Structure 1
């Protein structure tokens, strides 16, 4: 992961966190592309992201965390072997499908699936957003369905001239491909 060219200022981070806590939708750089994010338990914000992306709810969304502690509530219900497997991928560009055995994530985030897609990021800005907000965040690519993911902030502005509450300044990390998706139960790589 390459370092950010300029770290996010405390003021910019504070504005982003206030936006998230107020139920807003943000655009922010992730490991490979720009993402759209919000509080995953704020259903109105999640639905706004689905509408902006023209994404069917049934597909589900990825949740990104700044630390394992933020998604521990999902890991604790899994067998030790599956927990260890997931922990071996993080932090980094791996999204793990974790069974949501207690249905702790909203159906709007989980989609038609019984698992939730989770990544513990190694991108400093993503980690800062999650840690400062005290939440894992929805993290889905900042593009309408069927369009190329945004690799620059101007792509985000072009795709979404309205509908976003904040564009968090920064740059995507050094990865060229979206995160790999691993099913923790089967071990199968899905992307």
Structure 2
């Protein structure tokens, strides 16, 4: 287990090696990994005790990082203004998934939940990694969300490969999750 009192580049090394990291998001600590590495995603799901069928969120520095996973052509023009006016920020949009998006990310759905973050450390991490991260709250499924790095270390110990030591983004609630096609709110 490594301590991140140094730059996120070491977290990037962990991600590139198929590791799972704990990192701060806008409101809570998250568990993350390389979305293209099936073994890493399966490890994250096992740590969290989350069924693959539920699907996962991807968090990115910019929309361009998400294009590989989203069927951009299915997003109506009138919906784009609403989506992009709320990014970067703590709004997660459920969008049509690209046909090539792996089921280990989408679960039972034909959609993918994505967010362009405004959290500076997460933006830097995604920039250095060159792509989005899987982003799910750092807790066991059904348990309270981890709000401090020390709680995360107590909860996950050596099962996590790297802990990013940076502050939360200051929001009091996890991201709102909305359907990009209908505007339906899944989590408010």
TM-score above 0.5: yes
In structure 2, how many angstroms separate the alpha carbons of the residues matched to 1:20 and 1:162?
Answer: 15
1:164 lines up with 2:167 in the alignment: no
Aligned residue for 1:39, secondary structure, equals coil
Asked if 2 retains the 8 angstrom alpha-carbon contact of 1:97 and 1:117, the reply is yes
Q: Post-superposition, which runs of at least 4 consecutive aligned residues in structure 1 deviate over 6 A?
A: none
Report whether the alignment pairs 1:12 with 2:7. yes
Q: For residues 53-106 of structure 1, give each alpha carbon's deviation from its aligned partner in whole angstroms, at most 9, with x where no partner exists.
A: 100111111100011221134263222223333212210010000111x32321
Residue 189 of structure 1: aligned partner: 185
Question: Is the counterpart of residue 92 in structure 1 residue 89 in structure 2?
Answer: yes
49, 54, 63: which one pairs with 2:49? 54
Q: Using the alignment, how far apart are the partners of 2:25 and 2:165 within structure 1?
A: 11
Q: Aligned match of 2:28 in 33, 39, 51?
A: 33
Question: Is the 2:55–2:106 contact (alpha carbons within 8 Å) kept by the matching residues of 1?
Answer: yes
2:94 aligns to what SS in structure 1? strand
**Shift of residue 109 of structure 1?**
1.0
The structure that is strand-richer by fraction is 2
Runs of 5+ unmatched residues, structure 2 = none
1:128-139 mapped onto 2 (5 Å cutoff): 128-139=124-135
| TM-score, with length taken from structure 2 | 0.92
1:123 correspondence with 2:119: yes
Number of aligned residue pairs:
182
Are 1:153 and 2:149 counterparts?
yes
| 1:69 and 2:64 correspond | yes
147-156 or 11-20, larger mean C-alpha shift: 11-20
The alignment's TM-score, normalised by the length of structure 1, stands at 0.90
What's the RMSD between the two structures over aligned residues? 1.4
C-alpha separation between the residues in 1 aligned to 2:81 and 2:36?
26
Residues 20 and 162, structure 2, Cα contact 8 Å, conserved in 1: yes
Q: Which runs of 5+ in 1 are unaligned?
A: 1-7
